[in-house]
């Protein structure tokens, strides 16, 4: 279930980045590496790079989101759980900026002007930053849900090392990469064919992830089950 939830969050961030890049001044709200590179291009004098003000709105919003999520999850129980309650809480709070983006988008008819775009970028980047900070608490190697570089490195590196490609870890890594592609495809398609509803998709997907996580991990049963399974595997190895 955790793998499916991570894939769902990546699906959401893929759609968010597609819509923000295509409709909000060629700026990412989840992929900060791209924004930093764009900022360098703009400082170098490139006329096609996004405006610095838009890049800063996104990067500051993302930083605020990471900070807030980290403050929320740091008070949670030790990370022996598969999915701590604090992670669900942080993701739940991230729905607020998601909702704000959707409402502003509807109010402008899906055609925000230059005065509204920085607000949308900052709010959506805050949601993505909160998502990143919440997922970081899970300590799942190679998975951030808002960027795929680390996932790509983990997956290809294991191919090079001839590690098993059928493990649960590899299923998770492949799922994240596919979900990012599918999310970007859906976000781009909505923007082209039903632009007024483009921000609704990532909001709904994230809300479903939060609801599913709250229900599935409400008693920590999955965590105890995995802990017992881990102990059994340790006993087998020791024998």
Where is pLDDT greater, at 238 or 162? 162
pLDDT in tens, 189-234: 999 999 999 999 999 999 999 999 999 998 664 444 444 444 434 4
CATH fold, domain 2-230, is: Growth Hormone; Chain: A; (1.20.1250)
List the structure tokens of 161: 């090392």
Would you kindly state where each structural domain of the chain is located, as residue ranges?
A: 2-230
Nearest to 98 by CA among 68, 66, 76, 65: 65
Tens digits of residue pLDDT in 51-93: 999 999 999 999 999 999 999 998 765 556 889 999 999 999 9
Stated as kind and residue range, the H or E segment containing 116 is none
Residues 95 and 213: beta-carbon distance below 8 Å: no
- Of residues 166 and 217, more confidently modeled: 217
The pTM is what?
Answer: 0.88
Of the candidates 147, 200, 141, 130, the one whose C-alpha atom is nearest the C-alpha of residue 3 is 141
């Amino acid at each position: 279930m955790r793998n499916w939830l991570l894939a769902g969050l990546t699906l959401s961030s893929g759609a968010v980045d597609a819509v923000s890049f295509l409709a909000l001044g060629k700026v990412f709200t989840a992929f900060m590496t791209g924004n930093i590179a764009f900022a360098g291009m703009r400082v170098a004098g490139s006329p096609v790079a996004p405006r610095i003000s838009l890049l800063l709105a996104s990067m500051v919003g993302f930083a605020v989101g990471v900070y807030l999520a980290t403050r929320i999850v740091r008070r949670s129980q030790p990370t022996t759980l598969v999915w701590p309650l604090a992670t669900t809480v942080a993701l739940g709070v991230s729905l607020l900026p998601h909702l704000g983006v959707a409402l502003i988008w509807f109010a402008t008819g899906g055609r925000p002007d230059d005065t509204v775009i920085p607000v949308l970028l900052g709010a959506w980047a805050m949601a993505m930053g909160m998502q990143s900070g919440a997922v970081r608490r899970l300590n799942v190697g190679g998975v951030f849900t808002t960027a795929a570089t680390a996932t790509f490195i983990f997956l290809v590196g294991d191919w090079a090392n001839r590690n098993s490609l059928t493990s649960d870890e590899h299923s998770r890594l492949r799922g994240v990469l596919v979900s990012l592609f599918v999310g970007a495809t859906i976000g781009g398609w909505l923007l082209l064919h039903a632009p007024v509803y483009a921000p609704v998709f990532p909001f709904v997907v994230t809300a479903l992830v939060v609801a599913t996580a709250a229900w599935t991990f409400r008693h920590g049963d999955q965590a105890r089950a995995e802990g017992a399974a881990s102990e059994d595997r340790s006993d087998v190895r020791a024998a």
